[in-house]
A and B are shown apart, each in its own frame.
Chain A
Amino acid sequence: MSSESKRDEPLIISFFLYLAHSPRYIEFKNRVRDLLKNPKNRYKQYIDYFLIFLIVSSVAIFMWEVEHPTLGSILDFYATYFTSFVFLIEYLINLWLYNDIHAEILEEYNRAKFLNTKPNYYRALKRAILKKLSYMITIPAIIDLLAILPAYREFRFLKVFVLFRFLKLLKHSKSIYRFLEVIGNRKFELLTLFVLLIFVVFIGGLAIYILEEKQNENIHNLFDALYWSFITITTVGYGDIAPVTSAGRMVSFVIVIMGITMISFSTSVIVSAFSEKLTELKEERVAEQLINNKEFLIVCGYGQISKIFLREYLKDEYEIPYIVLDKDCRRVQEAINDGHNAICDDASRYEVLNRFYTPEAKITLLALTGSDIENIYISLNAKSVSKDIDIIARASSHKLINRYKRAGADRVVLPYEIASSMLVASIVYPTMYKAINAILNFKDVATIDEIYVSAKSLIINKTIEEVDFKKYNITIFGVQHGVDGEFIFNPPKSYRFKEGDIAVVMGHRLSLEYFKKKYNIIGRYRW
């Protein structure tokens, strides 16, 4: 019962301690887990495709071999050993990922240290191995194991094992998996129907056995009777056994009616399960397509602002994909009718936004619901999913700006106050109002644009004077260098463009388009 000092630790414990604290090992395990298990991982689908290919091709070769012996050929080697080897590795990796043996052992070690008792490593190891075993007896693990078996020559006479390769497809094909999932959701109803079916089969079988065992030459025993009953109730009716007495025929009336009722029942159960899941499946598909983009928008709330925004936005040549989220399903329906991708869901819930999050994409979220409380909550929620999500939120008063900023909103838009300022301007400075209104409303004659100076643009290292802005009647309001650069209003003619500069200009839409083409102005700066 002496306390163990550090140098008394068995070598294996030091190794486990090393593993538990090695960022490399943890990172590696997490990476592998992500690759195999995380449906959002971009490369997971390639692994799935690869495994599906192995399954289908090896099964095809096995089928071919039934009639055309190719023993010893390269095809045989591929179908038997190569694929099995890959499946074995996949199996072992899954087993490895399931739990950490070293974690169990270390827990025991720490527990013993804490309680000052002798650690029972045997018990800890047993616990860890039992956990692995509990994985091994799950249905997917068993299927995986059986799919490896064709590699053993001794087992090859059991061609049925090839079927397990097909079952393996379930794991890697999403649509088949979903089908089973939907059926699984109706376990109770289907099970009830199944029990009822067995019950009726038995009643019918017993009835026909008692009534016709002597008269009917095709019914030799109870099994024949049950077989007849089952074939009749499923409305298959082979006709190899048929009732010969009136009483027996009466029984078949009842069985056939029961059979049709039950089949239509189970069909409707499955169909209703599907139609219930249909919107969900569709939404999932939309979400999947969206997160495959490098950049996209999430528009929360489908009110006036969102409507107008999306209408204007769709006109834009820079258009990037987007999705509309709203709690109110009627609004979502309206959005769908207006031709947008929309999902009825609550953007203030973590899971909802997390579904759209992928670290590889640049995501901008627009919190545009009519309520400040909602918008603030959505902003906070988005930032809790990831700090990288950019947020533009709508607020009803400037008094709330600080609260929005605290909640993580990167930009706050104040519709009432912008409108008031515009109204004031329209009274006090009518001309300025006209000018800004024209600019904001996308009038061709006064298009405000940004000229992004990339390495490829032809204005790089030129001064303003050297570039013929005047010729195209383009006015430069100012230049800013980079994201956080200072905005230089009315830069002097001697200003020389550097890479990463953004010039704010105004001109006729057509002249700007021409100018950009001429000087190879491509790309743009993102806020």
Chain B
Amino acid sequence: MVEQKKDVLIFGYGRFGRTIANSIREYGTSVRVAVIDREEFKKAKSDKFEAILFDLESDETILSLNITESLYLVCAMDNNHENLFLTLSLRDLFPKNYIIAISDSIHVSDKLKMAGANRVIDIYTISANIIKHTLTIPVATKFLQGFINKSHGYIFKEIKIGPNSPLNGKKLSEIDFERYNIIFIGMIDEELGNQFVFNTVGFDHKIDPNDIIVVVGKEEDIKRFELECGG
């Protein structure tokens, strides 16, 4: 399912780190784990991860972790203070890497963003929102959750329009997505500054090469569409 190989380095193997490391590995991504705690180190080893010990306060040990520019860095240490310090250090030492930080409250999220994390995942906010949605829009929530936990066969997929695609030059309203049993929900347009735009705002854009359209549907239907129209 993963098109490009993406390597991930996870910091911390506690409450958060462990769950995250395991689910990322399920996707077939290569995962390494860096920890400061001997216990966590043992746990990671016994779960068959490539684990490395490092010292939060020594830049040398962090620099020796062999961090390349394409590596995704996930800060998932259980202690908020350590996690924040780690995020700051990593941003300082590796300005170009993509840093994802785990947070357990909205206040911590803001601080992590200020510290330089590219993306902050707030564990409890997502769940709280899902609970709220379950109460107000149960059918829709079940459908949405299906994407996340892969319980139904539908997926979100970005499709890059190649130079040979028959869709080039066509307007969105002219494309018959229904024929492929997929739903068009938005696109990323280079002309619009690489922003993701939902189809809810009502644009009728002309497709150019290198546009990315986002569709929802069964994996095989999307594949069929990609084959015929991806170019």
Bound pair: A and B?
yes
Q: Are B127 and A418 in contact (CB under 8 A)?
A: yes
Q: Are A420 and B23 in contact (CB under 8 A)?
A: yes
Q: Are A366 and B131 in contact (CB under 8 A)?
A: yes
Q: Scan residues 127-168 of chain B and give those whose CB is less than 8 A from a CB of chain A.
A: 127-140, 142-145, 147-149, 152, 154-158
Number of A-B contacts defined by CB within 8 Å: 218
Q: Which of B135, B139, B186 contacts A504 (CB 8 A)?
A: B139
Q: Are B140 and A448 in contact (CB under 8 A)?
A: yes
- For the complex formed, measure the closest distance between the CB of A479 and the CB atoms of chain B, giving whole angstroms: 9
CB of A431 closer than 8 Å to a CB of B:
yes
**Category for how many chain A residues contact B:** 35 or more
Dominant SS among interface residues on chain A: mixed
Q: Are A424 and B23 in contact (CB under 8 A)?
A: yes
- For the complex formed, measure the closest distance between the CB of B126 and the CB atoms of chain A, giving whole angstroms: 5
Q: Are B130 and A418 in contact (CB under 8 A)?
A: yes
CA distance A431 to B187 in the complex (A): 9
Q: C-beta contact mask, A279-305 vs B, less than 8 Å → 1, else 0?
A: 000000000000000000100000111
- Contacts A364-B135, A423-B121 given; indicate if A417 touches B158 (C-beta within 8 A): no
Q: Are A435 and B186 in contact (CB under 8 A)?
A: yes
Q: Scan residues 414-438 of chain A and give those whose CB is less than 8 A from a CB of chain B.
A: 414-432, 434-436, 438
CB of B193 closer than 8 Å to a CB of A:
no
Q: Are A427 and B200 in contact (CB under 8 A)?
A: no
Closest Cβ neighbor of A504 among chain B residues: B140
CB of B29 closer than 8 Å to a CB of A:
yes
Q: Are B129 and A441 in contact (CB under 8 A)?
A: yes
Q: Are A422 and B102 in contact (CB under 8 A)?
A: no
CA distance A524 to B140 in the complex (A): 12
CB of A394 closer than 8 Å to a CB of B:
yes
CB of A318 closer than 8 Å to a CB of B:
yes
Q: Are B178 and A426 in contact (CB under 8 A)?
A: no
CB of B219 closer than 8 Å to a CB of A:
no
Q: Are A436 and B147 in contact (CB under 8 A)?
A: yes
- Contacts A432-B158, A502-B139 given; indicate if A420 touches B19 (C-beta within 8 A): yes
Q: Are A312 and B148 in contact (CB under 8 A)?
A: no
Inside 8 A of B135's CB, which chain A residues have their CB?
297, 313, 364, 392, 527
- For the complex formed, measure the closest distance between the CB of A181 and the CB atoms of chain B, giving whole angstroms: 38
Inside 8 A of A478's CB, which chain B residues have their CB?
143
CA distance A304 to B61 in the complex (A): 34
Q: Are A427 and B16 in contact (CB under 8 A)?
A: no
Closest Cβ neighbor of A445 among chain B residues: B198
CB of B106 closer than 8 Å to a CB of A:
yes
Q: C-beta contact mask, B74-111 vs A, less than 8 Å → 1, else 0?
A: 10000000000000000000000000101011100000
CB of A96 closer than 8 Å to a CB of B:
no
Q: Are A431 and B139 in contact (CB under 8 A)?
A: no
- Contacts A313-B132, A436-B148 given; indicate if A431 touches B15 (C-beta within 8 A): no
CA distance A49 to B159 in the complex (A): 70
Q: Are A318 and B136 in contact (CB under 8 A)?
A: yes
Q: Scan residues 15-73 of chain B and give those whose CB is less than 8 A from a CB of chain A.
A: 15-16, 19-20, 22-24, 26-27, 29, 72
Q: Which of A426, A428, A429, A446 contacts B200 (CB 8 A)?
A: A446
CA distance A431 to B156 in the complex (A): 8
CB of A316 closer than 8 Å to a CB of B:
yes
- Contacts A435-B214, A436-B148, A511-B200 given; indicate if A442 touches B129 (C-beta within 8 A): yes
Output the residue of B121, B126, B199 with the most chain A CB within 10 A: B126
CA distance A427 to B156 in the complex (A): 14
The 5 residue pairs across chains A and B that have the minimum distance between CB atoms: A527-B138, A432-B156, A308-B128, A309-B128, A304-B124
Q: A419-B121, A473-B200, A504-B137 are in contact. List 8 more A-B contacts (CB 8 A).
A: A419-B122, A428-B2, A440-B144, A449-B140, A475-B184, A477-B216, A487-B142, A487-B143
Q: Which residues of A contact B (CB under 8 A)?
A: 297, 303-309, 312-313, 316, 318, 364, 366, 368, 392, 394, 397, 411, 413-432, 434-436, 438-442, 445-450, 473-475, 477-478, 480, 487, 489-490, 492-493, 502, 504, 506-508, 511, 524-527
Q: Which residues of B contact A (CB under 8 A)?
A: 1-2, 6, 8, 15-16, 19-20, 22-24, 26-27, 29, 72, 74, 100, 102, 104-106, 119, 121-140, 142-145, 147-149, 152, 154-158, 178, 181-186, 188, 196, 198-202, 212, 214, 216-218
15 residue pairs of the A-B complex, CB under 8 angstroms, read A313-B132, A316-B136, A415-B127, A419-B102, A420-B19, A420-B20, A423-B20, A423-B74, A431-B212, A439-B144, A440-B130, A448-B144, A473-B199, A508-B201, A525-B138
